Amino acid sequence: MSIEALLDGDGAVIAAAIRSRTVTATAVAEATLARIAARNPALNAFTDVTADRALAAARGVDATIAVGGDPGPLAGVPYAVKNLFDVTGLPTRAGSRIGRDNPPATEDATAITRLDAAGAVLVGALNMGEYAYDFTGENAHDGPSRNPHDVSRMAGGSSGGSGSAVGGRLVPFALGSDTNGSIRVPAAFCGTFGLKPTYGRLSRAGAMLFAGSFDHVGPLARSVADLAAVYDAMQGPDAADPVCAASVVDPLSHRLGGDVSGLRIAVAAGHFRENAAPGVLEAADGAAAALGVTREVAIPEAARARAAAFVITTIEGAQLHLPRLRARAMDFDPATRDRFLAGAMLPAGWYLAAQRFRAWYRTQVLALFETVDVILAPATPLPAPPIGGQTMTLGGATVPLRPNIGLYTQPLSFIGLPVVCVPGARGPDGLPLGVQVIAAPWAEEKALMVAAVLERSGLAHCPGLPA
Amino acid sequence: MTETTPKPLTEKEAEALLDAASRALALPVPEKCRAGTVTNIVAASTAAAFVMGFPLGDTDEPAPVFRA
């Protein structure tokens, strides 16, 4: 297999080729850097390319293999990270103009340290919506990350560069963060797999927060096996993240082929079947049909959960950025500035009511998971809109586009449920659509196993790029 | 929603909240951002009114540090 063909595939195949000495990690890194140089101008996915670091890391992998050592499960697999992750030597910009004035980071985020220890090779940092307050992938400072299936369309946000780079075959996997849908939306728009793990599962240390109550980190990739391999490498407790609750490492890559016939699977009804554009519900129903699922379940008060997520997000985000809003408001992206300013002004009573409702909602949904193991739902209410779009049609009404892209993702991250976003479906205009495979807290394995079944059936796959 | 739960703010009410909170937080709002900030306060008030229309009990504790 040529290196170019390898780079079009998934990370597991690249790692196997490197471990078997079919190709060197250095050659893979060089080819990846060349591909980024050739294709990134059209996609605008990368804001930084760490070529020297990548080549040094790749040579290290090759040296380990040369002496018969174990380079790790992700041996020589190139990857990139949303630019809110600390990367030694780079200012952590988090999509902002202000962040690029920061001194360079002096150490890597925990996620990067763990991936590097597993043999992966960091090749750069990725474009994103400013401070992660975004569903579009647009950015006034760096320009929009673009959808590899139609560069006039949004990549989705806020991990827009992550979706663009993985969907566009620049890297086999990338890290993103998800507060209200920021891994799942770009995964759906760009036709990749995405994993938002259980809240507290993976360390966020060294990743700039947005709304701490909901912030998660996780991978976008082109196969379920790669999602699982990256997830496994990132697991483990971390005292540097007070939210990281996992006390044990529970690798699951070797269990993806497990039998799911005993799992109780249902399709989300109610909120998750309302206000969808043509093709969106068909994507979820296609996954259900492939699994032989006919049952529906209603997640209670999902619309109110979304409203509460909105209130908590805007207040926590504004509080985090208050010093910057005081000092440099006009250096914010106009798309985030007024929302952050507004969030700072809101009564504490609104915030606490939303947090109290969150506890009630969590109890209800946990009770629902006593009767079901996995729930299927659409990822977004529409495929990728045109870059610069301001409105969308929702239930026959014209509404603002930006806040409503997260219609189906927000009620789930609101209580930290693990979700795998699977690609494969396309809308009437040929653009990718995603389906959320949702499990109970700490049950990532069930969601990944169901996603793997859909992948083996041929239904879930990264759609090919236009010629 | 009963009359004892909040209603979404009008633009005028949102402007009053903005002015008071701006002083309370020592957070000046540039004139160029004022209209957009008011619009977003109104939007947040609509979401908050929806949330606060839900009847919570005394034992429904807030979850500021959430454990899934």
Task: Tell me what pLDDT residue A318 has.
Answer: 98
Which residues have a Cβ under 8 Å from the Cβ of A236 and sit 6 or more positions away?
Answer: A114, A203, A246, A249
Distance CA A299, CA A376 (A): 11
Give the residue extent of every domain in chain A.
3-240+250-456
Q: A423 and A192 in contact (C-beta within 8 Å)?
A: yes
Cα of first residue to Cα of last residue in chain A, in angstroms, is 21
Task: For chain A, list residues with pLDDT below 70.
Answer: none
Distance CA A272, CA A305 (A): 13
The answer as to whether B26 is a domain residue is yes
A158 part of the active site: yes
> Does the distance separating the beta carbons of A352 and B68 come in below 8 Å?
no
The third-level CATH classification (topology) of the domain covering A3-240+250-456 is: Amidase signature (AS) enzymes (3.90.1300)
* Cα Rg of chain A (Å, integer): 20
Task: Tell me what pLDDT residue B65 has.
Answer: 53
State pLDDT tens for residues B45-68: 999 999 999 999 999 988 755 555
Q: What would the two tokens of residue A125 be?
A: 């940092």
ipTM of the complex: 0.95
Cβ of residue B58 closer than 8 Å to a chain A Cβ: no
State pLDDT tens for residues A235-259: 999 999 999 987 778 999 999 999 9
The answer as to whether B65 is a domain residue is no
Q: Residue ranges of the alpha helices (H) in A109-183? A: 110-117, 160-167
Cβ of residue B54 closer than 8 Å to a chain A Cβ: yes
Task: Tell me what pLDDT residue B4 has.
Answer: 75
- Sheet order of strands, A216-221 included: A46-49, A121-126, A78-82, A173-178, A216-221, A193-196, A419-426, A432-439, A374-378, A265-268, A296-297
Distance CA A104, CA A100 (A): 9
Q: What would the two tokens of residue A33 be?
A: 């850097």
Catalytic residue among A82, A96, A203, A213: A82
Chosen for mutation from A180, A243, A338, A402 (greatest number of chain B CBs closer than 10 Å) is A338
State pLDDT tens for residues B8-38: 999 999 999 999 999 999 999 999 999 999 9
The answer as to whether B16 is a domain residue is yes
Cβ of residue B44 closer than 8 Å to a chain A Cβ: yes
- Which residue range(s) make up the domain with B15? 11-52
The answer as to whether B46 is a domain residue is yes
Contacts of B62 in chain A (CB under 8 A): 352, 355-356, 358-359
Length of chain B measured in residues: 68
A446 part of the active site: no
> Does the distance separating the beta carbons of A314 and B40 come in below 8 Å?
yes
Contacts of B33 in chain A (CB under 8 A): 329, 337-338, 341
What's the total number of domains in chain B?
Answer: 1
Distance CA A109, CA A421 (A): 24
Q: A158 and A133 in contact (C-beta within 8 Å)?
A: yes
Angular region, A332: left φ>0, alpha ψ -120 to 50, beta rest: beta
The answer as to whether B18 is a domain residue is yes
